[in-house]
Structure 1
Amino acid sequence: MCYQMKGAAMTADAVSPSQAHSLARDAETMPRSTRDELDRVQIDDLDMLGLAVLAGPANVIMQLALPAVGYGVYESKVDSGNLFKRPTKRTRTTLTYLAVAAMGSPDIRKAYRQAVNKSHAYVRSDADSPVKYNAFDPKLQLWVAACLYRGWEDMQRIYGDPAKITEEAYQQGAVMGTTLQMPRDLWPATRADFEAYWQQTVDELEIDDTIREHLMKIVRMDFTYPALRLLFGRYSETMTIGFLPEEFRKKMRIEQTPMQRRIFNAHNAVARQVIRFMPKPLREFPFNVMLVDLEWRRRTGRPLV
């Protein structure tokens, strides 16, 4: 699998702020009518959206398992978006992106896309990078979107109604990529095509020691504050390993212990019952709050990312 991307010759170090603004503007490659149409698409069934927080670390690991994505994050010069340097901000911006992609208005999607583009302009490989990457590469955005959609499916299978995994729901899932630069026609045409793309990509994944250790830090919650790690580290590790698909566990060379499996299954059994009685605003939390926060940031002129 080749990770050479057009435009990767310009290194992150070589991108000045003015160039970043130019690159962010140029990333809007879709015709305006097409972009407007895509930005109007919303996900109808959001019952499992809030639960995505539980599986968030596992989903991030899946995304970063693709070498070009993994090294793009590992080598990123954008410290303000570094999970290990700014964990609270990174968590907020990631949750906000999911909220914008699923529930955002066309206007808010455009504003957030432009803000993300300015940060992505700096995420480019240099001469020393083991693989070539460019955050504007639509194929990399396809993989990230595929992981997010697959995570939604997993939430439905574990907590919701597997019958909701329909062709229509799959087509709506494309917004996870089209909210940025992924062209709509890059999203596999049918759910069956998606499965073929997914299996082929996963089969070809190779996680080297550098990225594996970086991902293990996410498993262990090394990115968060010591007090939180002490209180929730074991729980988070159990949940992350549980949500991580078996093929990714094998590539990461980690195993789910019998005790972790029992805790994970017991947690899910209780959660399934609780969800049945939760009002819609709670099921959508914290993503509904992220949209309110984003609107406040726009009104007050604060940075969106």
Structure 2
Amino acid sequence: MRPSRAAADLADMAPESVLLAGAGRAVLLQLANPAVGHGVARHSDFAADPLKRLHATLSYVYALTNGTPAQQKLAKSSVQRAHLPVKGGSGPGHPAYDAADPALQLWVAATLYDSAMQTYSAVFPALAPDAANTIHRQYGVLGTALGMPAELWPSTRADFADYWNRQLGQLHVDDTIRAVARDLLAAQNAPVWIRALMPTARFLTKGLLPPSVRELYGFHWSPRQDKALAATFRAASVLVRITPAKIRHAPMRHYLRSLG
């Protein structure tokens, strides 16, 4: 079996199913922005359908990176339709929010990019600088497809790092957001096979979060767990070298088929 090569662009990188390990991280980072977190809390029922946001996000990402024009159009219209009612004024304990706010669209796209890069780099060979720059540039489409002005996406990886660090310092998690995260990570109403995977998903999500955000959520994390996480990714790096792309990319094909 030939070793997996490093991605050359986003279309190469996005189909890798190992990136799903960072999906929970991305969602919890999104929720830790109070405007996103309270918007989700007031307009989504995570207790009844905890994985709905995750499924919608994956459909959107796969369509924009590897879908046909028709699939891209359908995914964008679906997300835009879901976002229309997500707006509200500030109130006791929560800020105003609007899913059409370009700054919030930037944050959501940024969490997807950073989570994908963190997970990819833990498993695959290091990206060449040109490929890393290309993928960074291309990830901006996850925001611009929803209306975010292209100039909001940090122009270089260094600019992104500066933006990211500033945003991490502004995150805040209250009881409302913790309750949403708890429902997501419990996935009590999910199918049995998904519930069986949730202990692993919770472990990966907590371990991949930046320590400061992990602390905001009140998650315990020990040095022993950190060693276990590193061992998990070492094992994953072996598996991706011996697993055919057809299998590694199966989740993407599933989501694209669901779009028709």
Does 2:147 match 1:177? no
- Higher deviation after alignment, 132-141 or 106-115: 106-115
Distance 1:145 1:223, change over 3 A: farther
- TM-fit CA distance, 1:293: 1.8
Aligned mates of 1:199, 1:66 — CA distance in 2: 13
Instruction: Label 1:44 to 1:229 Cα distance change in 2 as closer, same or farther (>3 A).
Output: closer
Please tell me the root mean square deviation across aligned C-alpha atoms, in Å. Answer: 2.4
CA distance in 1, matches of 2:65, 2:195: 33
- Would the alpha carbon gap of residues 180 and 49 (structure 1) be closer, same or farther in structure 2, given more than 3 Å must change? farther
Q: Tell me whether 55-64 or 111-120 shows the greater mean CA deviation.
A: 111-120
Q: Could you tell which deviates more after superposition, 63-72 or 97-106?
A: 97-106
- Counterpart for residue 73 of structure 1: 40
Aligned pairs for 1:1-305 (under 5 A) are: 43-46=10-13, 49-76=16-43, 82-87=45-50, 89-126=52-89, 128=91, 130-164=94-128, 166-219=132-185, 221-225=186-190, 227=192, 231-295=196-260
Please list the CA deviations of residues 55-109 of structure 1 after superposition, one character each: whole Å capped at 9, or x if unmatched.
Answer: 2112110111111111110111xx5xx4332245444322211111221233322
Q: Is the 8 A contact 2:32 2:173 kept in 1?
A: yes
**Conserved 8 A contact 2:47-2:183:** no
- Render the CA deviation track for 1:210-261: whole Å, top value 9, x for unaligned: 2123223434x24444855763443222221112122211222323134433
Note the C-alpha offset of 1:138: 1.3
Provide the C-alpha distance between the structure 2 equivalents of 1:87 and 1:214, rounded to a whole number of angstroms.
9
CA distance in structure 2 between the partners assigned to 1:201 and 1:132 by the alignment = 18
Displacement after TM superposition at 1:147 (Å) = 0.4
Higher RCO (CA < 8 A, seq sep 6+): 2
Letter in 1 for 2:145: T
AA aligned to 1:138 is P
* Unpaired runs of at least 5, structure 2: 1-8
**Bigger Cα displacement from structure 2, 259-268 vs 269-278:** 259-268
DSSP 3-state at the match of 1:136: coil
Change in 2 beyond 3 A, CA 1:226/1:113: closer
Provide Cα deviations, 1:113-165, integer angstroms capped at 9, x if missing partner.
12222221111114647211111111101000000000121022211123246
Q: Is the 8 A contact 1:48 1:152 kept in 2?
A: no
Q: Distance in 1 between matches of 2:209 and 2:64?
A: 23
- Which residue type is aligned with residue 132 of structure 1? A
Matched with 2:5 is: none
Could you tell me how far apart the structure 2 residues matched to 1:292 and 1:243 are?
29
* Counterpart position of 1:12: none
Distance between the aligned counterparts of 1:131 and 1:188, measured in 2?
Answer: 25
Unaligned runs of 5+ in 1: 1-41, 296-305
Q: What CA distance in whole angstroms lies between the structure 2 residues aligned with 1:196 and 1:222? A: 34
Equivalent in the alignment of 1:298: none
Q: Conserved in 2, the CA contact under 8 Å of 1:141 and 1:177? A: yes
CA distance in 2: counterparts of 1:284 and 1:223, whole angstroms: 27
Structure 1 residues 164, 97: closer, same or farther in 2, change over 3 A?
farther
- Conserved? CA contact 1:87–1:224, under 8 Å: yes
Cα gap change, 1:163/1:233 in structure 2, threshold over 3 Å: closer, same or farther? closer
